[in-house]
Each structure stands twice: as structure tokens, then as C-alpha cells.
Structure 1
Amino acid sequence: MTKLFTTTALIAALAMPAFAAKPGEGETLAENQTLNFWILDAFKSLDPQLTSSRTDSDMIRQLFEGLLNEDETGAMVPGVAESWEVSDDGLTYTFNLRDAKWSNGEPVTAGDFVYAWRRAVNPETGSEYAWFMELMNIANAAEIIKGDVAPEELGVTALDDKTLQVQLIKPTPYFLKTLSHSTTYPVPQSVVEAEGDGWTQPGKMVGNGAYVLKSHDLGVEAVAVKNDEYWDAENTILDEVKFITVNDQNIGLTRYLAGEIDWMNTLPAGRLPQMQAEYPDEAISAPWACSYGYLFNLSDKGPEALKDLRVRQALSYAIDRDIIVDRVLQGGQRPAYNWTHWAMEGYEIPEVDWADWSQAERMEKAKELLAEAGYGPDNPLNLTIQYNTSEDHKKLAIAVQQFWKAIGVNVTLNNYEWKVHIDRLNNQDFEVARYAWCGDYNEASTFLDYFRSGGYNQGKWENADYDKLLAEAATAEDPNVLYRQAEEIWGQELPMAPVYHYAMAQMIKPDIRGVPLENVMSAWYAKDMYRVAE
């Protein structure tokens, strides 16, 4: 049997209580403990193992709880797992579960995690995030996803109702950071099997989070109310959380200013300076671990022109990121000439030579490259940019259309609702697509793994050296060195035209406390928030 040990750092972590809402000295709680949160798109799925959406995950995080949570700075803190031990070889994790309950009063057991994790990797489930379990390096995950091994062979075992053991195939420094991700949340087997696809509907859903789903009017509003069965319910102050869908950000801001929305975490492009001047206590910008760009379809279904590196370079060079960041967005974002967000823990962005060129130099080089590739007035390059419904995405797509027109590329714009946009990406039914990736945990690999051959990778770029570096990084003493080398390969190949690194320009009502502005992952828990009397 593997010898278990606890490091000094781990002892400290285990001694920490789970983060909870706690009014500060001199603060008086408001009578109204409801939070109205704005979302741009309707939920695609509230099933932890089926979702791939950031918006979905924000709600799922209120309804379910995994082994670990994140505190206000993004540090990992106990969730359902009260403590854990790691074997000497770093391959075996043993989690000791607290006395937690489902919203129907039944106990949450290690077997619930085993069921959920097997469900995530089972090809029959059709999880878009099955690859995430492979990324966690859980034993047999890759083989199960490919259909070569039965889900029951996944390296996760319930030693008893309160003890969960996870077997990895190699030491994984970021493993604990993955455990606050919704794909790893437990789900109640009896409910899922009894209700089928309808198990996430109000009145049927059973969760183990601080809130339960009360109502859901798709594309309009979803309401979650306090779960009295939650293990830390006595420290949960907000009674109700409403997710209000407003597809137009300008209308969303209008509703915020009218008092109908309390927290709008993505302001319309260009509005932050005005809001900071008029509402200095409410308008805030904070780094957010997401990167935005235009993804090239390099699959067999993609246009032949994009398979030419010179074309991809030309399209990347022609985008004037300073105009986009300084004139269009104006929300604290930074121009991106690479993929991984600059704020990821321990990561240094590699040098990119064309980042230091003037925009005029980039445009001149872009024209040269297109001409070398055989495109010009007599043979213009025609491309279609796909984006999902949003006034900001539209503005940026129009701007890029003009940037590319200036180098002789004709662009058609296609707008789709979010669900259709994602489905088309997943099926490689696009040429160039607006895309953004938000990190799943605070390490560079969460970005770089997207482009791994077996990653989510909707543009289907492949590079064996890139894959090898990511594989080696998993056991490296300093993985960030290998991450930079992988990103250098990415920068040489440009499977996407990077545009900007996110900052979250947002409006928050001044009586709300506990919004985790120092967490670059922007993972928030309503249970850690409260309202004070004004």
C-alpha cells in the first residue's frame, strides 16, 4: 500500500476553514439578501458533466459543490473534502469527505463522486469536457474516452462512504486546482437515472451546493434559493440568486442603472471610462483569465487558404490591437500577441518579435505575405468570420473585417446564437470564428492544453512537438519553462489570431460584499457574499 504523507504546506491548507461570508466590523446586514446577476446568453446545460459554458458554470457552482472550492484570491480551500493526503510518489490522492447532504437530505458519499467522474469520461454521456478528466491524468481516463476501456476502470475508488481515492498516471502539480471545476462535481445517481435528461429541471434537480434551483425560464431568468441542507448553511447569508439573461449589453447596463441588476460583470465596449466618472464606487476593472482571438479552421473542412502559414501570419499581423483595446473596448484589457493570459500564476509570456513592430510595419508585412501566398487584386482571398450574438462581438468583427480589407481580404460576417455558434465550432462548420477561452484553473496549461491534439481544439491544429512539451511539463520541476517553449511553437504556427487578454470591466452595487476581485479565474460563490445596509 502506498505510504501517505502530508507536507507542511498541506497541513496549513487543511487547517484552513472553508471560506465563508462574514460581515466586517461595523457592517450591518441589509434586509434584502437577494443578488441579481446579469448573463449574456441563456444556459446551455445545468448538468455538471455536460456543460462547456462559463455562464452555465457560474450557476452550477451555486447548485453543486466539488471536493475543493476557491477563496476570494483563487486559493484552493476545502469543499466537500475536509482534508486530503498525497502519496510519496504523487500518484495517489485520498480525500476525506465531510458530513455533507444532497438537497433532498440524503448523504453525499464518495460513491457519488465515483459515479459522476465515470459519467464524465463515458463516451455514451457525450460530455464536451471529457478531455478535462484526461487532462487531470486520472488513470485510464484517456482509454475510456477513446472507448477502449470500460468506465468502471477509471482510477477513482470509494474506499468507504467518506473516503475517495484517486489514482493518477503521473504526478500532476495542478491536480488540486482542477477540483473546483464543474466537471468534477458529484451528481445524484438515483435522480439522474430516474429523471433522464430532465433531471436538471426545477423541482427535479437535486444538488449539494449552497443553493437549489427554484425556477428557470430559459433565456429570461433562473432563480436559485438557499439550500437549508447545505453543510455550511448557517454561514450562507444571501437567500436568493437570480440569473437574468439580457442578450444586449447596453440594455443590460440600462437595467443595472435602473436597479434591476446588481452585478454586471461585462460592460459594453467603451463604457467603462464613463461609468468610472459617473459611478466611481461601482465601476471596476480587474484581470480575468480569458483570452480572445479569431480561430482558424485547419481541419479538412476548413478553407485551403488557412493551411498556408503565410496567410495566417498576414491575418494576425493586420489586426490593430491597440485600436481594439484603447478605442473600442476601453475596459482595462491588454493587447494579445500570444495565447496564455499574462496573469496566470508563475507564467512569463515569451517574446514575440512582431509585437514590437509598428502597426504600419505589420500591415506592410501582411501584404507581402499574402502576395507570396498567391493572393492579390486578381485573386482576392475571401473569408467568413463567425461570431455569437453580442454587440461587442459584432463591433470587433466589423473592425477586423476592415483591418483585413486593408490588406486585400474580403470578409463576410455571420452571426449565430451562442448554442448554434458552439455547435458549429464543435463540428468544424466555420472558416474563421470569434473565440475566447477562460482558464479552468490558475496555471498556463489550462490555456495551452486547448490546442493539444487531443484537447478541445475546435480548429484542429496539430503539432507533435507542442504535444510533447505539454506532456513533459506534467512532471517537470518547473513546467513554466516548457509552457513557454510550447507557446513559442504556437506563436510560430498561429492556429489563431490572438487579439486581447481580458479584464473584467464591471458594475457592482456598492452594498454588495464578497465579490472575489482578486481571483483571476473569476470563480465566485454566492454563499461567500452578502449585502450591507446602506
Structure 2
Amino acid sequence: MPIAKPSRRMKPSVAVLMLLAAVAGLNGCRKPESGEVRALVIADRLPRLADPLSGDLSPGDLLLVGNVAQGLVRFDASGDIAPGLAERWAVSDDGLSYVFRLRSATWSDGRKVRARDVVRLMERQLARRRRDVLFDTVGAVREVVAMTDRVIAVELSAPRSHLLQLLAQPHFALVRGNSGTGPFTVVREEDHLQLTRTLPGFDGDEAQEQRVRLAAAAAPAAIKMFVDGDTELVLGGTVSDFPLTAVVKLPRGSLRVDPVIGLFGLVPARSEGPAADPAIRALLDEAIDREAMVAALGVPGLQPRVSLLQPGVDGFTQYAQPPWAALTLEQRRAELVERARTLFPPPVPAESDGGDAPAEAPRPTIRVAVPGGPGGEIILQRLAADWGPLGLQVEDAGEGTADFRFIDEVAPSASPAWFLRRFRCQYVPVCSEEADQLLDAARLTGFPPQRVRFFADAERIMRAEVLFMPVAAPVRWSLAGRDVEGFAENRFARHTLTDLRSANGARN
């Protein structure tokens, strides 16, 4: 991808020239606060600041990266786009050019942040598009150019209204060495991380300082510390540990569940065995009692679903539904059992070894990789209850070979592209080449209605071939005390640590 060198004079497009003028008139805003907030992330170790490209980062790592090494933009508490390293930006009328003006900033070694450095880091991120499903979602980015020392232009091959949502993800945070550009600086202590953010005063006022003491603990300990008043904020809860919140008495209103969109269900884990047979996948998919699983998990507001695309993605009002969706499970059960007998003929009983009755024949086994913790146990128990009447045995795959894997992944934007591209042949063992071709066509078209049509056709194929067995929306939860007024649930489950406590409610 071309990068502007200091000595090279780029010839910007007309749209970029117009945006260079418009971007000067946009302003960000911020809210001063004070008082240290004691926060915990559910994890087995303290988060570490690392380049998102260096490997798979834990949710705790991504929380830290997003707060210490922001990208051009970031999410505010409500999940809306806020200024990051870019203090302002503008978008051309045709949606093909984004121009960002960088704020004055330095790296931890005191070196000034320049546009060409940012472009170089972004180039490394964009180079991952063919190897990583998240970075693949920014495939429409055609060129990133340093226009001046503080102005960057991102040009697209087709309009992408969700670009800012993607760039706000911590995966696009800009890490240079072991440092970022804020909004917080971090110092590692023996058992916690000390995060500090300084806001300059206005009109002669004193500077405001925000401080967060961030530690890590396993879910049971984190919940207990919150109940005991030893921490004010617990982040990083998933379906794995959500059932633990039901066995303690939490302060009223402290349990906060993010209204996220994403993928929560089963995906084939290998291209052999039961997962490779579309008829078996269809049988198992139809036999899942989604209402019972959702009820067993007990997550407030969680709704069962049978479509791959989740209601709430932009541009869609109708979703591919399997033909059996209009019938209740009881109405389908007899036919499911009959199909199971055809797909899994009863095995011949083993011979007895001493005149006793013949040993019971082993049942066909479906091995499933599920999340850990009590949430994963509930999921496995429900699958056993649903697939057992079909004559099947369900086992936890553990560290062994799985036939199916239960995934719980939050979408990085409200675009349908990520949902569908998640099942491209380059990322999963069981796929549809026809659907892949439709996704390629969607990327190339510049006509939004046609793009939606390609997505709808791809979803229909993927749902018919049962490349994914949807159950509900992902599960993300937090615990927030009454003095952490700045915390809010959001649809991306990305939580900034800025502005957690208002100045009026601050307690030192």
C-alpha cells in the first residue's frame, strides 16, 4: 500500500482537497473528572500492552490497548465514535475519502507523532487483511496517505459507512514499541496497573487528572470483591461466568449486560466426521431447543434466534429463516427422530461375555468444544438434552478433537459483512465457495442496494448449508458501582476507562 514519504508531493483528489478545508472546522469535546476508580478485569493475569499484530491478545489486553494506545478514533462509553489520535475528521459526500487531522501528541520516548508514522503503522494493519477476519472487514481501503505532518487521508474503493466503527476497535490501536498515544499512560505495579490521564484546564482552571487502578482476578474473586466493596467496576464478563452472578446478592442495578450483536452458536470444527455431512448439521441445528438454552443461561434480555444475521445489523429487515422455524420443537420432534435413525443406524449390540444380557451398544458421539466455566456446562447439558432423544451422545471435546465448536463473538461493527465473511473458506473448515463468490462481488460493487442483495444471497446459502447454528446474541456483562456514573452498556462491549467518575461525584 503506498505511503507518502516526506520528500514526495502527493496529488490529492478533489474530494480530499475539499475535506482538508472542512476538517479544520470540526471539534471534539471532553468532560473533566477526578478521583481514582478501582477496576478489575476478569482474567488470570494482568493485562499487557502489546501490538495487536503480535498475536492473539486476551480481552483484558485489548481493554488496556484501547485505553493506552488508541487508534485514529475510539469508542466513548455509549459505543459512539469519539476522537482518538485524530482530533477531528471529515468524510466526502461520496463516502470514498476520509480525512483525519491528528492532535499534537508524542510517543513515550518524547518523539513527536507524525502522520507518516501513523500511516506506516496502519499499513502493517491493513496487510493482515488476507489472514485475519477482523482486518478483512476493511478490505475497501484503497490507499492511506500522509498529506501533511498532521493530516491523513484514507481513500476507499467503495463507500463503507462502518469504517469508523472498525477503526475504533482496539485491534486498530497504534502501538509503537511498548507505547501508545493515550488517552491514558500506564505504570505497572506489583499487583495492578496504574492508569493516569491528565486533562488541561480551561480559561485558567487547574488541570484535571483521571486515575484508574486496574487489576485482574478470576470471575468468582472479582464478583466477591465487588460485593465486598473492594472494587467499583468489574469488566470482561462472558457467558462462561455469567451464571456466577445469580448465586450472590448484587447491589441493585449493578449488573450491566451489553446489548451486543454478533455470533453465539455452533460452527463445524473440522471437515471430517459428523460436521462434514450437511444432513447431520441440519438435523442437529433443527433439534436445538433455543428457548430452553436461553432460559437456562438466565441472561436478561437474551432472545433466541435462528438466523445467521442478527436483527440490528444495518441494511437488513428480513433474514434467512430455515423452513422449520414456523413449527415448534414438539411439532418437529417425531420427524427429527426418524431422520436420526436414517443418518445414524442403530449399532449392533456387543456380545455378552458370560451368559449375561448383551452389553448396550455404544451410541454415536458428537464432540463439542464449549466455553469454560458454568456457562459452558449449561450449554453442554442443553445440547445433551436436545440431541440425546436422537440417539446421540454429547461429549465435551476439551483439548481433544471437536466436531463442533461453540463461539461467542461480538461483531466489530453494525455491518453484515463481518457476520458473513467470518465463514469464508479461508477461515473455516466447512464453507461454501458459492457464498464466497457473492461476498467477493459485494466487496467490488459501489452500489449499496446491490451489495445488500449479495449479502442476502450469501446468508441464504450459508443458512441452508448450516455453516453456523445460531442460538442467540453474544453475552457480555459488567458490574458497575453507583459512583461510576460514566460507565454505560454499548453494542460493541468496548468500555473506555475515561470519564468514569463525574467531577461532582468524585471520591478520593
- TM-score normalised over the length of structure 1: 0.76
Contact 2:287–2:387, Cα closer than 8 Å, also in 1? yes
Which residue among 119, 124, 127 is the counterpart of 1:119? Answer: 124
**Pairing partner for 1:472 from 442, 447, 456:** 442
How many Å separate the matches in 2 of 1:38 and 1:181?
18
Name the residue aligned to 1:35: 38
- The question of whether the paired residues in 2 share the 8 Å contact of 1:110 and 1:160 is answered with yes
Q: Secondary structure at the match of 2:367?
A: strand
Looking at structure 1, the residues matched to 182 and 481 of structure 2 have their Cα atoms a distance apart, in angstroms, of 25
Structure 2 CA distance, aligned partners of 1:166 and 1:351?
34
Would the alpha carbon gap of residues 362 and 328 (structure 1) be closer, same or farther in structure 2, given more than 3 Å must change?
A: farther
Give the structure 2 partner of residue 319 of structure 1: 288
Residue in structure 1 matched with residue 375 of structure 2 by the alignment: 392
Pairwise CA distance, 1:223: 1.2
Deviation at 1:12, TM superposition (A): 10
Equivalent pair of 1:210/1:236 in contact (CA under 8 Å) = no
Q: Which residue of 2 aligns with 1:15?
A: 26
1:170 paired residue among 143, 158, 169: 158
Secondary structure, aligned partner of 1:49: helix
- Tell me what 2:259 maps to: 287
- Give the CA RMSD over aligned residues: 3.6
Q: 1:186 to 1:336 in 2, by over 3 A?
A: same
CA distance in 2, matches of 1:68, 1:401: 45
Aligned to 1:369: 339
Cα displacement string for residues 78-132 of structure 1 (whole angstroms, at most 9, x for unaligned residues) = 2222333445654443322121222333222222222222323557xxx996454
Aligned equivalent of 2:493: 522
Aligned-partner SS, 1:527 = coil
Matched, 1:333 2:335: no
How far 1:521 moved relative to its partner? Answer: 0.9
Distance 1:230 1:497, change over 3 A: farther
Residues 80 and 97 in structure 1, CA contact (< 8 A), matched pair in contact too? yes
Q: Name the aligned partner's letter for residue 176 of structure 1.
A: L
User: Shift in Å at residue 308 of structure 1?
Assistant: 1.4
Cross-structure match for 1:419: none
User: Contact 1:101–1:230 at 8 Å: present in 2 too?
Assistant: no
CA distance in 2, matches of 1:14, 1:274: 53
- Aligned in 2, Cα 1:71/1:278: closer, same or farther, shift over 3 Å? closer
Residue identity in the other structure for 2:89: W
> Are the counterparts in 2 of residues 211 and 226 from structure 1 also a CA contact under 8 Å?
yes
Letter of the 1:524 counterpart: H
CA distance in 2, matches of 1:336, 1:279: 31
Q: Which amino acid aligns with 2:158?
A: K
Alpha-carbon deviation of 1:66?
A: 0.9
Asked if the contact 1:342/1:501 (under 8 Å) is kept, the reply is no
What residue number does 2:63 align with?
Answer: 58
What residue number does 2:53 align with? 49
Q: What is the deviation of 1:35?
A: 3.0
Compared CA separation, residues 264 and 404, structure 1 to 2 (3 A): farther
1:143-179 per-residue CA deviation (whole Å, 9 max, x = no partner) reads xxxxxxxxxxxx3232332122333333333223221
Q: Secondary structure at the match of 1:117?
A: helix
**Cα distance, 1:441 vs structure 2:** 1.8
**SS in structure 2 opposite 1:502?**
coil
The 3-state SS of whatever aligns with 1:393 is helix
Structure 2 CA distance for partners of 1:250 and 1:392, relative to 1, 3 Å: farther
CA distance in 2 between partners of 1:513 and 1:12 (Å):
32
Which of residues 185, 196, 209 in structure 1 aligns to 2:182?
209
In the alignment, is residue 238 of structure 1 matched against residue 181 of structure 2?
A: no
- Find the aligned partners of 1:83 and 1:48 in 2 and give their Cα distance: 24
Counting only pairs closer than 5 Å after superposition, residues 341-352 of structure 1 correspond to structure 2 as 341-350=310-319, 352=321
Which digits, 9 at most, give the CA deviation of each residue in 1:175-194, with x for residues without a partner? Answer: 23221122322222xxx3xx
For residue 292 of structure 1, give the secondary structure of its aligned residue in structure 2.
strand
Q: 1:437 aligns with which of 409, 422, 425?
A: 409
What SS does the corresponding residue of 1:4 show, helix, strand or coil?
helix
Q: How far apart, CA to CA, are the structure 2 residues paired with 1:288 and 1:476?
A: 28
The residue matched to 2:71 in structure 1 has which SS? coil
Q: What is the SS of the residue equivalent to 1:172?
A: coil
> How far apart in 2 are the matches of 1:96 and 1:446?
28
1:227 is displaced (CA, Å) by: 4.6
Measured in 2, the distance between the counterparts of 1:325 and 1:354 equals 19
Change (3 A) 1:278 1:68: closer
Listed one character per residue, the Cα deviations across residues 475-516 of structure 1 (whole Å, up to 9, x for unaligned) are 332454543333222211111222221354442111101113
1:257 aligns with 2:257: no
**Which residue identity is paired with 1:434?**
F
Aligned residues of 2:200 and 2:207 also touching (Cα < 8 A): no
Change beyond 3 A, Cα 1:441–1:269: same
| Aligned pair partner of 1:226 in 189, 192, 196 | 196
Per the alignment, residue 392 of structure 2 pairs with 409
SS of corresponding position for 1:238: strand
- When structure 1 is superposed on structure 2, of 389-398 and 314-323 the one drifting more is 389-398
Q: Distance in 2 between matches of 1:113 and 1:453?
A: 32
User: What runs of 5+ residues in structure 1 fail to find an aligned partner?
Assistant: 24-28, 141-154, 193-204, 417-423
Q: 1:319, 1:235 → 2: CA distance?
A: 57
Structure 2 CA distance for partners of 1:286 and 1:229, relative to 1, 3 Å: closer
Identity %: 18
Within the candidate set 424, 443, 457, 1:452 is matched to: 424
**TM-score of the superposed pair, with normalisation by structure 2:** 0.80
Structure 1 residues 322 and 306: alpha-carbon distance in aligned structure 2, compared to 1, 3 A threshold: same
Map of 2:460 onto structure 1 = 488
CA distance in 2, matches of 1:451, 1:88: 32
Structure 2 partner of 1:420: none
